[in-house]
Amino acid sequence: MENLKSVTVLDQRRSHWVVAAPAGQEVEWDSVITEDQPGRLIAWESAEGADIRNSGRIEFRDGAPGRGTEVSVTMAYDPPAGAIGKLFAKIFQEPKIQARRELRRFKQLMETGEISTAKPPHAASRAE
């Protein structure tokens, strides 16, 4: 995830997240796993006191034979500052768009082992 700065595992069900926000800011929260079925689904919600209250669920299902795994994500969040916060989030990149981009990157990584970019690869300079 491009904006993810860190995730610290606190125990088997809790973790602390730090994410880069617009205008050089950071937001933090503790996340609590509310449901975990290995290989099938994981659900979570933010703990009390989160900068941004959020919850979500990721489900994994077998696709048609030979078609891999289907992944579905459901997320909800309440940005700080109510309606003004939602407007600010839309202006600086709505989380729904960001989540789609991150899922696309995850799909590329799982299918090809790398994430394609428009950046030129790092290479040794040519000898003259």
Q: What is the pLDDT of residues 4-14, one digit of tens each?
A: 889 999 999 99
Q: What total of structural domains would you count in the chain? A: 1
The alpha carbon of 6 is separated from its chain's Cα centroid by a whole number of angstroms, namely 11
Rounded to two decimals, the pTM is 0.69
Residue 88, domain member (yes or no): yes
In sequence order, the 6+-apart residues with CB closer than 8 A to the CB of 88 are 22, 79, 81
- Three-class SS state of 92: coil
In a domain, 37, yes or no: yes
Tell me the pLDDT tens digit for each residue of 50-87.
888 889 999 999 888 888 888 888 888 776 666 555 65
Does residue 120 sit within a domain? no
Question: What is the domain range of residue 66?
Answer: 4-112
CA distance 123 to 34: 45
